[in-house]
């Protein structure tokens, strides 16, 4: 029964390209275009047809991690890209549509993310060995979408461009007090203090990130201008000229959206500027991948723009500008994947083969989500006053035509 149901689903899914599946029974089935060279896949675990029917995303990821699904010629990445391309073209089988519909209300309304759960969820991902992140991130350890302002930029150049682009949106003046919510390993906080003369409070729930960021601030000689605290955003007190949050909002959880933006509104001065940079979904609200939530980002939820802005409206703040980055994260993830694979032996020495498969699968499905599906990055500029930033984006780009990524303000000099 389950093999028959899976066969029907795959027949509907693969209309472009071709896939050849060998089932546990030895039966071989081909799906897709007749003349296309197929991607060959073997299902060796007899339980997988049932599991793939009940929760396709979870079972596919677990099957690859555990060796129950074998991609010949190491074609996992090609298979994922092809599957997502077909799904995005409207070939989504009913099994996948219904599993998403059932999971969506649970994620959106019932899975709260109180402080103790937030700490546990952050530790699951960000308190892994720092040596792991050194394998694939840029030198500044920017673990969020880079800004590829022109073709051919290196990952390090694009991550620097991202920080400078965001800093310009914050309209900083020397001495401005800045809150960095989810400060990671401290790169943004150091940039804002060193290049723009800001006084920065960076907060994180990751003990690993807190230790590394604190050491980096000390090494940069910025202890008088940057403080890194192990603290939840809901516990911060004071008022700030600017608030920045890069890649943290995805971890807030749908039931906490109103609380998050109400907190930003409370902490932001009347003439202040906030920049919230988050992964987003260009579809209506829907469930986040069950595999991602189980293995990579427990408690995570990718917002639709309508959900985020509904909570901004409740906060009383104004939306000053919204910028949508479409393929920038796909390019970032391609760099991360290729750098990780190039140092796979070092990753195996840190963890094991199953972990390496998990991590490679994560980077692959994430890239496909941005390249072939409807994921993107939203940058929300928020404030209490309509004139908190200029009325055009001209201020982000110099009048002499020099690319913004090539400039550094050095306002503190």
User: Which pLDDT tens digit goes with each residue over 169-217?
Assistant: 999 999 999 999 999 999 999 999 999 999 999 999 999 999 999 999 9
Give the per-residue pLDDT at 397.
Answer: 87
Angle between helix axes 353-371 and 328-342 (nearest 10 degrees) is 160
| Residue among 191, 139, 186, 185 at smallest CA distance from 163 | 191
Are 125 and 99 contained in the same domain? no
User: Strands 226-230 and 199-204: what pairing?
Assistant: parallel
User: Is the pTM value of this prediction over 0.85?
Assistant: yes
For range 278-285, the mean pLDDT? 94
In a shared domain, residues 135 and 221: yes
Q: 64 with 156, same domain?
A: no
Say whether both 89 and 119 belong to one domain: no
Please list the residues that pair with 276 across neighbouring strands: 245, 380
- When the pLDDT of each residue in the chain is averaged and rounded to a whole number, the result is 90
Residue 202 lies in a domain: yes
- In this structure, what DSSP letter does residue 91 have? I
Predicted pLDDT at 24: 95
pLDDT, position 96: 60
pLDDT confidence tier of residue 399, bands split at 50, 70 and 90: low
Q: Give 22 or 90, the one with higher predicted confidence.
A: 22
**How much is the average pLDDT of 247-261?**
94
Q: Are 284 and 312 found together in one domain? A: yes
Task: Say if residue 402's pLDDT is above 90.
Answer: no
348 pLDDT band, cuts 50/70/90, is very high
- Picking from 17-26, 126-135, 207-216, 254-263, which range would have the lowest pLDDT averaged per residue? 126-135
Q: How many domains does the chain have?
A: 2
What CA–CA distance (Å, rounded) separates 107 from 104? 5
Question: Do 34 and 55 lie in a common domain?
Answer: yes
φ/ψ (deg, to 5) at 175: 90, -10
Q: How far apart are CA 12 and CA 4, in angstroms?
A: 13
| Predicted local confidence at residue 300, as pLDDT | 85
Cβ burial 357-391 (10 Å sphere, 16+ → b, else e): bbbbbbbbbbbbbbbbbebbbbbbbbbbeeebbee
Q: What is the token pair recorded at 70?
A: 């074998």
Residues 9 and 134 in one domain: no
Contacts of 349 (CB under 8 A, 6+ apart): none
Region 285-305: what's the mean pLDDT?
A: 89
Alpha-carbon separation of residue 203 from 166, 273, 373 (angstroms) = 18, 18, 32
Q: How far apart are CA 389 and CA 383, in angstroms?
A: 9
- Residue 401 within any structural domain of the chain: yes
pLDDT in tens, 83-122: 999 998 887 776 665 555 555 555 555 556 666 666 676 6
pLDDT at 403 over 60: no
What is the rounded distance in angstroms from the CA atom of residue 81 to the CA atom of residue 386? 42
Q: Which of 93, 110, 127 is the last residue of a domain?
A: 110
β-sheet bridge partners, residue 29 = 21
What percent of the chain is modeled with pLDDT above 70? 88
């Amino acid at each position: 029964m389950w093999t028959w149901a899976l066969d029907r689903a795959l027949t509907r899914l693969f209309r472009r390209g071709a896939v050849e599946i060998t089932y546990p029974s030895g039966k071989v089935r081909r799906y897709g275009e007749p003349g296309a060279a197929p991607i060959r896949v073997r299902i060796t675990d007899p339980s997988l047809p049932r599991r793939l029917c009940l929760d396709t995303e979870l079972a596919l990821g677990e099957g690859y991690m555990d060796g129950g699904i074998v991609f010949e010629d190491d074609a996992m990445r090609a298979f994922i890209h092809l599957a997502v391309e077909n799904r995005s073209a409207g070939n989504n089988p009913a099994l996948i549509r219904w599993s998403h519909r059932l999971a969506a209300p649970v994620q959106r309304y019932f899975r709260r993310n109180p402080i103790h759960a937030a700490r546990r969820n952050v530790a699951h991902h960000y308190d892994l060995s720092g040596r792991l992140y050194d394998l694939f991130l840029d030198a500044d350890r920017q673990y969020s979408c880079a800004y590829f302002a022109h073709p051919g930029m290196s990952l390090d150049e694009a991550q620097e461009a991202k920080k400078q682009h965001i800093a310009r949106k914050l309209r900083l003046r020397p001495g401005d007090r800045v809150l960095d919510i989810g400060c990671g390993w401290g790169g943004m906080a150091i940039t804002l203090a060193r290049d723009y003369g800001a006084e920065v409070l960076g907060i994180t729930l990751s003990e690993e990130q807190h230790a590394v960021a604190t050491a980096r601030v000390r090494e940069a000689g910025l202890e008088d201008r940057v403080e890194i605290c192990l603290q939840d955003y809901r516990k911060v007190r004071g008022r700030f000229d600017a608030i920045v949050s890069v890649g943290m909002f995805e971890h807030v959880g749908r039931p906490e959206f109103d609380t998050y933006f109400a907190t930003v509104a409370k902490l932001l001065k009347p003439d202040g500027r906030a920049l919230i940079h988050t992964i987003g979904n260009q579809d209506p609200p829907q469930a986040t991948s069950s595999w991602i939530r189980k293995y990579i980002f427990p408690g995570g939820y990718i917002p639709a723009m309508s959900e985020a802005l509904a909570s901004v409206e409740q906060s009383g703040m104004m939306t000053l500008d919204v910028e949508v980055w479409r393929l920038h994260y796909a390019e970032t993830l391609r760099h991360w994947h290729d750098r990780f694979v190039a140092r796979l032996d070092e990753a195996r020495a840190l963890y094991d083969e199953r972990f390496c498969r998990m991590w490679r699968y994560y980077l692959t499905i994430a890239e496909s989500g941005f390249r072939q599906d409807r994921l993107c990055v939203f940058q929300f500029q928020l404030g209490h006053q309509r004139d908190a930033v200029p009325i055009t984006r001209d201020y982000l780009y110099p009048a002499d035509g020099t690319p913004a990524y090539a400039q550094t303000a050095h306002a503190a000099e």
